[in-house]
Amino acid sequence: MPDVSNLPLIERSCRSCTLCCDLPDIDELDKPANTLCRHCVRDQGCTAYAARPGTCRDFLCAWMSDGDWGPEWDPTVCHMMVYAQGPQLTVLVDPRHPDFWRQEPYLGQLKRRAAEAAPAGGYVIVYVGDEVEKVQGD
């Protein structure tokens, strides 16, 4: 998981989402990708919240921190989490819903973002389990 420090949007909260305790790898916890953290109760939250490592404290997905991502990008709705890593927009898809990102409105929006980011060297990468795909802009 990257070190992403943002402020949450006041109207949004993680609620029952635990995707970022599941999908990314987290070195500080020796946690592989797509494996639920040993401190996480799925769909409930962290049982070690006060002692969670800095990576967890600092991370917010794009939906939580950027109002440009609409309600359809709530990770509990879209079954994926999105975050920026330098020029890369990373999309981690819940392998239990492997094709959801190819549906609309998701694929169209990812294509648009890929096209908009390309002139400045940006790009969009989707991870579904062991599969990796670069989104081609429209």
Please give the residue ranges that form the binding site for ligand SF4 (CB under 6 A).
14, 17-21, 26, 29, 37, 39-40, 46, 48, 52, 56, 60-61, 63-64, 75, 81
CA distances from 27 to 24, 30, 63, 67 (A): 10, 5, 23, 29
CA nearest to 123, candidates 108, 135, 131: 135
Residue 43 beta carbon to ligand SF4: minimum distance, rounded to whole angstroms:
10
Of 37 and 124, the one with the shorter C-beta distance to ligand SF4 is 37
* Residue 36 three-state SS: coil
Of 14 and 89, the one with the shorter C-beta distance to ligand SF4 is 14
Residue 118 beta carbon to ligand SF4: minimum distance, rounded to whole angstroms:
26
Residue 91 beta carbon to ligand SF4: minimum distance, rounded to whole angstroms:
12
HSE toward the beta carbon, residue 117, CA cutoff 13 A:
22
